[in-house]
Structure 1
Amino acid sequence: MKKLLITSFVLGSLAAGSAFAAGPAGGTDLSGFSIGTNAEFSRGTVSANDGSSDGGATTSAGINARYDWSLTPTFAVGLGASYSTGNHAFGSYANGTAATVNNRYSLDIVPTVALSNNYQLYGKLSSIYGTAASTDGVATSNVQGVGYGIGVRKMLDKNLYVQAGYDLNKFNDITYSNGTTAALQENVYSIGIGYKF
């Protein structure tokens, strides 16, 4: 999946570079601050050395913000942050306790390519964080990991936009006090709206 995301972004970048070598008509400026909100549809999975192997689905809301710096008329790099509300379900551990991650947030590096005046293709590399429920159903543990994403943003005018994206979040293995080690992974599909200043 990681190779597919990278390949898709590279091909999009090359296509945009050749199609808009002089920059999109109208001189779209990719630089600036943007903030948005989105609906997220995620599917999480858990596997652990106690025999756990399960999955769960979650619908949640998220917010995101970033600042982009244009390096060329058709390419920019952004730094951002995002936060997702609620408990994200990853199924259940072998003992029946729900496997969840709460307060998931990330710090993001976001390269963006202008495909036209109105459409932008972006990739995302994230450092992700959250709070995982322990296998005892009471304690929690901090988790972190890496996320990879790709998406499309459509400008409705010079400020307002809609976007859709896909993220693969892989948390580092976590070992609980009872000796259980768990691996958590999440596929996230999102649609949203935002404003570029």
Structure 2
Amino acid sequence: MKKLLITSFVLGSLTAGSAFAAGPTAAPDLSGFSIGTNAEFSRGSVTANDGSSDGGATTSAGINARYDWALTPTFAVGLGASYSTGNHAFGSYANGTAANINSRYSIDIVPTVALSNDIQLFGKVSSIYGNAASSDGVNNHDVQGVGYGVGVRKMLDKNLYVQAGYDLNKFRDVTYNNGTTASLQENVYSVGIGYKFR
């Protein structure tokens, strides 16, 4: 999956070069601070050494913010943060206890390529965090992992935009007090709207 995300971003970058070679009216301004909100649909899965193998779906709301630095007229690198509300379902452990992660948040590095004056392709590498419910239903455990994403942003005018994205979040294995070691993974699809300050 990581190879697919990287390939998509590289192909988008090559497409951007040919699109601007055709002669855009003006290069887009990629620098600046942006903030947005989005609806997320996520599909989580859990596997554990107690025999657990399950999945769950969650619909939630998220907010995100980032600052982009334009390195060329058509390429920028951003540093951002994202937060997703509520409990994200990953199914259940073998004993029936729900597997979930509460209040996921991340620190993001976001390279962006302008495909045209109003359409941008972005990638994302994230350090992700949350709080996982334990397999005994009593204790929680902080979890950390890595996320990879790709998305597209369309500017509606010089400030307003809509965007859609896909993220793959892979958390490090977590071992609970009762000895259960669990692996948690999440696929996240999102659509949102935001504002870029000029």
Secondary structure in 1 aligned to 2:116? coil
Q: Which residue of 2 aligns with 1:144?
A: 144
Q: Which 5+ residue runs of structure 1 have no aligned equivalent?
A: none
Q: Which residue of 1 aligns with 2:188?
A: 188
Secondary structure in 2 aligned to 1:71? strand
CA distance in 2, matches of 1:102, 1:189: 18
State yes or no: 1:157 paired with 2:172: no
Structure 1 segments of 4 or more deviating over 2 A?
21-27
Alpha carbons 1:106, 1:127 under 8 Å: kept? yes
Q: Which residue of 2 aligns with 1:107?
A: 107
The sequence identity of aligned pairs, in percent, is 86
Q: Which residue of 2 aligns with 1:12?
A: 12
Per-residue deviation, 1:28: 1.3
Q: Which residue of 2 aligns with 1:79?
A: 79
Per-residue deviation, 1:27: 2.6
TM-score (norm 1): 0.98
Q: Which residue of 2 aligns with 1:130?
A: 130
CA distance in 1, matches of 2:178, 2:186: 24
CA distance in 1, matches of 2:24, 2:146: 33
Q: Which residue of 2 aligns with 1:31?
A: 31
C-alpha offsets along residues 93-119 of structure 1, whole Å, 9 cap, x if unaligned? 000000000010000000000001110
State yes or no: 1:58 paired with 2:85: no
The alpha-carbon distance between structure 1 residues 24 and 173, as it changes in their structure 2 partners (threshold 3 A), is farther
Letter in 2 for 1:127: S
CA distance in 1, matches of 2:19, 2:137: 54
Alpha carbons 2:27, 2:74 under 8 Å: kept? no
Q: Which 5+ residue runs of structure 2 have no aligned equivalent?
A: none
Alpha carbons 1:41, 1:189 under 8 Å: kept? yes
CA distance in 1, matches of 2:37, 2:107: 16
Alpha carbons 1:149, 1:167 under 8 Å: kept? yes
Alpha carbons 1:23, 1:73 under 8 Å: kept? no
Per-residue deviation, 1:14: 1.2
CA distance in 2, matches of 1:31, 1:14: 21
Q: Which residue of 2 aligns with 1:121?
A: 121
CA distance in 1, matches of 2:151, 2:85: 20
Letter in 2 for 1:102: N
Q: Which residue of 2 aligns with 1:176?
A: 176
Per-residue deviation, 1:19: 2.3
Alpha carbons 2:45, 2:56 under 8 Å: kept? yes
Alpha carbons 1:42, 1:58 under 8 Å: kept? yes
The count of corresponding residues between Structure 1 and Structure 2 is 197
Per-residue deviation, 1:21: 4.4
Q: Which residue of 1 aligns with 2:94?
A: 94
Letter in 1 for 2:83: Y
TM-score (norm 2): 0.97
C-alpha offsets along residues 128-148 of structure 1, whole Å, 9 cap, x if unaligned? 000000011121000000000
Deviates more, 1:74-83 or 1:24-33: 24-33
Per-residue deviation, 1:22: 8.5
Per-residue deviation, 1:15: 1.3
Per-residue deviation, 1:26: 2.2
Alpha carbons 2:64, 2:82 under 8 Å: kept? yes
RMSD: 1.1
CA distance in 2, matches of 1:103, 1:9: 28
